[in-house]
């Protein structure tokens, strides 16, 4: 079955770059997602990447996709204390309208 794996914790200093990694198993996914959960809030879609892309950049966020290794990463440049949150990668089980398979979430702690 589908499986998504992430490391659980990451601690960085303000201003540094953060890299959150994820591995997945279902190579048929059309999209791969990154969700962010701030304390006390719901899940917010942060960014996504089409499976036919290798990289997507959106301001301070860079998503890298290595389809061969089924590896996805999220890089946050110039990390701020407001970036402290739990980050989940997720893949849909089919193209549209399908359930999401999530990783365990990576808790990012940004120290001033």
Partner 1 sequence: EAGVTQFPSHSVIEKGQTVTLRCDPISGHDNLYWYRRVMGKEIKFLLHFVKESKQDESGMPNNRFLAERTGGTYSTLKVQPAELEDSGVYFCASSQTGGNEQFFGPGTRLTVL
Using CB under 8 A, list all residues that contact partner 1.
4, 8, 31, 35, 40-45, 48, 88, 90, 92, 96-97, 99-105
| 30 DSSP assignment | S
What residues contact 103, with CB distance under 8 A and at least 6 apart? 4, 5, 6, 22, 88, 89, 90
Smaller CB distance to partner 1: residue 52 or 96? 96
CB of 14 to partner 1, least distance (A): 25
Which C-beta is closer to partner 1: that of 53 or that of 100? 100
Write down the least CB distance from residue 6 to partner 1, Å: 8
- The CA distance from 36 to 17, in Å, is 17
CB of 34 to partner 1, least distance (A): 12
The token pair at 75 is 């890089």
If the CB atoms of residues 42 and 112 are measured against partner 1, the closer one turns out to be: 42
Closest by Cα among 35, 107, 110 to 79:
110
Return the number of the residue (31 or 53) whose C-beta is nearest partner 1.
31
Place of tokens 């701030």: 38
Within 10 Å of residue 32's Cβ, how many Cβ atoms? 24
Smallest gap from Cβ 45 to partner 1, in A, equals 6
């Amino acid at each position: 079955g589908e499986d998504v794996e992430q490391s659980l914790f990451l601690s960085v200093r303000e201003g540094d770059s953060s890299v959150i990694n994820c591995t997945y198993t279902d190579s048929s996914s059309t999209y791969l997602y990154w969700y962010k959960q701030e304390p006390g809030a719901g899940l917010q879609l942060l960014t996504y990447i089409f499976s036919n892309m290798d990289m997507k950049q959106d301001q301070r966020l860079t998503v890298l996709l290595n389809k061969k290794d089924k590896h996805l990463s999220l890089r946050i440049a110039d990390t701020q204390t407001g970036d402290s949150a739990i980050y989940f990668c997720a893949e849909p089980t089919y193209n549209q309208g399908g359930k999401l398979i999530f990783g365990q979430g990576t808790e990012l702690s940004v120290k001033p």
